[in-house]
Amino acid sequence: MIIVRDDMPAGVVAMEAVGEVTRADYQDIIRPELERAFAYGEKVRFLYVLGSQFKGFEAAALIDDAKLGIKHLGDFEKIAVVCDVKWVNHAVKLVNVATPCPIKTFRVEREADAVSWLTSTL
């Protein structure tokens, strides 16, 4: 399940994964929320929190994540992923090599640092 967070500074789109992230989460929550942000024409600063309640991704959700990322490759200004799951952090580092925007991972207890980094100038 994905929760859209509204406790962020202006200009930051934030979502938090609780339990397993499914294809329905991408279709019903993540994609529409990001599409709304992209519609304003400004690059998006995105915080994705995979905290202590995160249980993993449904395989179809990973495919939808890749499709969304490819479609909007140039629409992100910065992406911060807050997560303590090693394979996710490794995957983010691999993806960072192929993206035009900086992507950075932060440990769960460093979420405030992730928000600070997102709101800082490039």
Domain that residue 30 falls in: 2-119
pLDDT for position 114: 97
User: What is the DSSP pairing of strand 2-5 with strand 76-83?
Assistant: unpaired
- Bridge-based pairing state of the strands 44-57 and 12-21: parallel
The pLDDT score that the predictor gives to residue 66 is: 84
Whether pTM exceeds 0.75:
yes
Q: What is the mean pLDDT of each run of 10 residues along the chain (122 residues)?
A: 94 95 94 91 93 92 85 90 94 85 95 96 72
Asked if residue 45 lies in contact with residue 34, where contact means CB atoms within 8 angstroms, the answer is no
Tell me the C-alpha to C-alpha distance, in Å, between residue 5 and each of 63, 91, 95, 122.
Answer: 23, 24, 24, 23
Count of domains observed in the chain: 1
Q: What's the pLDDT score for residue 122?
A: 60
pLDDT confidence of residue 41: 83
Domain at 21, CATH number: 3.30.750.24
Please give the structure tokens belonging to residue 47. 């915080």
- pLDDT for the residue 72: 86
